[in-house]
Structure 1
Amino acid sequence: MGFQRTFLFLVLMCATVMVHGQPANISSRYTHFLRQHVNGDMTIQKCQGVMGYLELTESDSENCKVKNTFIKANSNQVRAICTGGGTPMGNGLFESNNHFPVVICKHKCKKKMLCQHTHPQYEYGGSSSTRKVVIACEREWPVHYGDVFLLSNLADCYEVVL
């Protein structure tokens, strides 16, 4: 009887971990999101170094990412937006109920070219603010930062707000 109870306990523990654990198909997207957008120690002075280290590119090309926003928080604080700490906006987007400090790194560009972070045209400057953030959540896991994007035409950089 003791063996059966122990076995049942282990089965229930495994099931609990699987139910409350991160889904396998979301793991890489969540990890990518954290790497690209969550950095509790980020400062505007670190923009050049961090952007060069991450070597971020636009999703549809090899062009350097023109703008990236870092949420100055830990992963649990950001995940809370998806699990009750955010207001649903539709299409899987959630606006945080609380304000977060953020650092925005912007590319000081003349025109877009292939990503060569050592090239002088690929210098990044930074600014900071405190605001509500919008993120896309999938099965209660943050997978995409979604409130402001930068686009570029052939000559200039300009901001487009969704």
Structure 2
Amino acid sequence: MGFQRAFLFLVLMCATVMVHSQPADIGHRYTHFLRQHVKGDMTIQKCQGVMGYLELTESDSANCKVKNTFIKANSNQVRAICTGGGTPLGNSLFESNNRFPVVICKHKCKKKTLCQHTHPRCEYEGSSSTRKVVIACEREWPVHYGDDILIV
């Protein structure tokens, strides 16, 4: 009888993991999104270090990324935007119903043409606020940061 209980427990645990984990074809995009945009302990003072560590670049080059927004929340709070905590905008985009604290790291260069820096020479400064955010969701999983909406 003990073996049957252990087997049933194992089957139930596997089923639970399968229900709560993202589909395989979305996993990489979801993990990339979290790494790049969700950091609960982010501060403006950490912009230089975190941006350097992540080595974020413009998508079509090795140039320093001009701006990156970090949502100060955990993955479950952000995922909730895709599962009822957001308003659909079309094209898989959802606007969060709630405001989130965010840290925005901007490249210090004001004129892009004068400073086409590549890693590791990127310099960033941070600002923070509380905003609604827009994210792209695929089958109820956040996969892309769309924008932040400043509510005044």
User: Would you call these one fold, judging by a TM-score over 0.5?
Assistant: yes
| TM-score normalized by the length of structure 2 | 0.83
Amino acid at match of 2:127: S
CA RMSD in angstroms comes to 2.2
Give the number of the structure whose residues are more often helix, by fraction: 2
Q: Give 1:113 shift.
A: 2.1
Q: Paired residues, what number?
A: 145
- Please give the alpha-carbon distance, in whole angstroms, between the structure 2 residues aligned to 1:34 and 1:104: 15
* 1:116/1:12 CA distance change after superposition, 3 Å: closer
- Please give the alpha-carbon distance, in whole angstroms, between the structure 1 residues aligned to 2:45 and 2:11: 50
Give the equivalent residue in structure 1 for 2:65.
65
Whether 2:108 is the aligned partner of 1:113: answer no
Q: How does 1:1-162 map to 2 (within 5 A)?
A: 14-15=14-15, 17-109=17-109, 110-111=111-112, 112-117=115-120, 119=121, 122-147=122-147
Unaligned runs of 5+ in 2: none
- Please give the alpha-carbon distance, in whole angstroms, between the structure 2 residues aligned to 1:55 and 1:128: 21
Q: Report if the CA contact (8 A) 2:47-2:124 is conserved.
A: yes
| TM-score normalized by the length of structure 1 | 0.78
Amino acid at match of 2:116: M
Q: Report if the CA contact (8 A) 2:62-2:119 is conserved.
A: no
Q: Give 1:147 shift.
A: 1.2
* 1:73/1:4 CA distance change after superposition, 3 Å: closer
Amino acid at match of 1:66: V
Residues 75-105 of structure 1, C-alpha deviations (whole Å, 9 max, x = no match): 1100110111111110100000100000000
